[in-house]
Chain A
Amino acid sequence: MSALVAAVERAVKRPIWGCRMCGQCVLHATGLTCAMTCPKNMRNGPCGGVLQNGHCEVEPHRRCTWVQAWQRSARLPLWREQIAQLRPPVDWRLEGTSSWENLLTGRDRHVPAGWAATQRPMS
């Protein structure tokens, strides 16, 4: 069943967003730009190597994922502020699994205990 859901998700999201099936989708926070298309796997914004024309330093033929994400996010009616929120390190065990399923089960919200400790309310 899980494999089937993942196959459907891949079939839908790969052609539209270039989805890499990280299994912990943040498309809504990034103006519907797949963060994992960044060659450095940046989850929280652009690196310092963006070229003057806004292109990627690693793949200079295309625009920086995060230049695109910020532009698109500003045009979204919803979730606009989410782009600036700190996203935790990727759980690589979820790679290839369905983020839809992980969202429903809450599996994509698991963070390591040390990370969770920093998310308690400000003292």
Chain B
Amino acid sequence: MAAPASVETYSRLHAVLRARDFAVTCELATADSANPAAVYRHARVLAGKVDAVNCTDNSAAHPHLSSQAAAHFLTDCGVEPIVQLGCRDRNRIGLQADLLGAAALGARNVVLMTGDDASAGDHPETRSVWDLDSLHAIRIARILRDEGTYLSGRRLESAPLYLIGAVENPFAPPFGVRPRRLRSKVEAGAEFVQTQICFNPPRLREFMARAGDLGVLDDLPVLVGVYIPRSARSVRYLGEQVPGIDVPETIITRFESRPRDEQAEEGFRLALELVYAVREIPGVAGVHLMSIGGTAAIVRLIEELGLLPRPAPDEPDQRPARSRQDADRLS
């Protein structure tokens, strides 16, 4: 990408990553509601506990409250959002509209991804879009921000300002290609990466080593996905039903050897161990925590890990320079 290295700090998360503090992000529980309270409920618990929170985009191909709207409600509670946008439900016109909309609603981080296939969801009969792939989406986010134009070349009145993220899955074949794919995402314009859920630290170590050899990690913070399972059933489900998640058999047996009422605690211990294991791997800049509906478990894990208080990066004004000028001009 031709644009110079950014001098601007786009977000709180950006400041944390730049300071090389161990970053903590997590996933917002999905909301099947038209009431903002569905987001506020979780946002209030997460405020001050994480650096930023991912608003998923119809995850697992199930419709939910939109990621842009959820992001906006997070900012109401002082929680910094990361807006996820995938390529299944929008073409290049929709993507650009949503990127502008997200930025205008206060999102300072976006993550672009391909997205799960509709066959994984509850509307398998739908027609998916697949106009773009994830690399296209990343590059288009960059064009809007750095060129100040749409993909077509038409000028924007005011460019969106956000940190651009990607996802990568070190745990899916072809394993040898994954580090090169990470490099392609950086070349397309990604500035940080969140990985798929890790149950296999040795595999991650190998991936990070190869990515390091390619020189990808010099400027790219990698946040590793860690899931807090609540039962043997949920672990088995992830391994068997969610494409791209690698759950080693040893983990499943470890859960199944426990009585049901101890499995949640076992899941918590496993997540702790995984965070300890991945943070030792060179290049890992932070963790991205996930738990189905369990915001409390996420906060408890962060407390137990001694990751509180979260760093308070020095930010004189939450609004980046360009939009500040615009706002002053308009007022």
Contact = CB atoms under 8 A, between A and B. Distances in A.
Contacts of A115: 139, 143, 151
B2 A41 contact: no
A50 B117 contact: no
Interface string B88-100: 1000100000000
B114 A86 contact: no
B32 interface: no
Contact of A70 (B152, B153, B174, B196): B174
Interface residues on B, range: 35 or more
A116 to B, nearest CB: 8
B143 A118 contact: yes
B317 to A, nearest CB: 28
Nearest to A67: B174
Contact of B133 (A44, A54, A112, A123): A44
Nearest to A48: B169
A18 to B, nearest CB: 17
A89 B243 contact: no
Q: Is the interface of A mostly helix, strand, loop or mixed?
A: loop
Nearest to A41: B130
Of the listed residues B151, B153, B169, B196, the one surrounded by the most CB atoms of chain A closer than 10 A to its CB is B151
Contacts of B135: 43-45, 86
A58 B119 contact: yes
Interface in A99-123: 112-123
Given A89-B136, A121-B2, A44 B151 contact: no
Contact of A40 (B3, B130, B153): B130
Given A57-B244, A67-B173, A123-B4, A90 B152 contact: no
A57 B135 CA distance: 19
Interface string B190-231: 000000100000000000000000000000000000000000
Contacts of A44: 133-136, 184
B94 to A, nearest CB: 13
Contacts of A114: 140, 143, 147, 149-154
A119 B3 CA distance: 10
Interface in A74-101: 84, 86, 88-90, 92
Given A43-B133, A89-B136, A92-B131, A50 B174 contact: yes
A48 B174 CA distance: 10
Interface in A54-71: 54, 57-58, 64, 66-67, 70-71
B129 to A, nearest CB: 9
Contacts of B183: 84
Nearest to A51: B243
A54 B196 contact: no
A90 B149 contact: no
A42 interface: yes
B16 interface: no
Contacts of B139: 86, 115, 118
Of the listed residues A44, A51, A67, A90, the one surrounded by the most CB atoms of chain B closer than 10 A to its CB is A44
Interface of A: 39-54, 57-58, 64, 66-67, 70-71, 84, 86, 88-90, 92, 112-123
5 contacts: A41-B131, A42-B133, A52-B173, A114-B151, A115-B139
| 10 A-B pairs with the lowest CB-CB distances in the bound complex, closest first | A113-B153, A57-B243, A48-B169, A49-B243, A41-B130, A114-B151, A50-B172, A44-B135, A49-B244, A54-B173
Given A53-B173, A84-B180, A113-B153, 15 more contacts: A40-B128, A44-B136, A48-B113, A48-B196, A50-B172, A51-B172, A52-B246, A58-B117, A86-B135, A86-B139, A86-B188, A114-B149, A118-B142, A121-B2, A123-B4
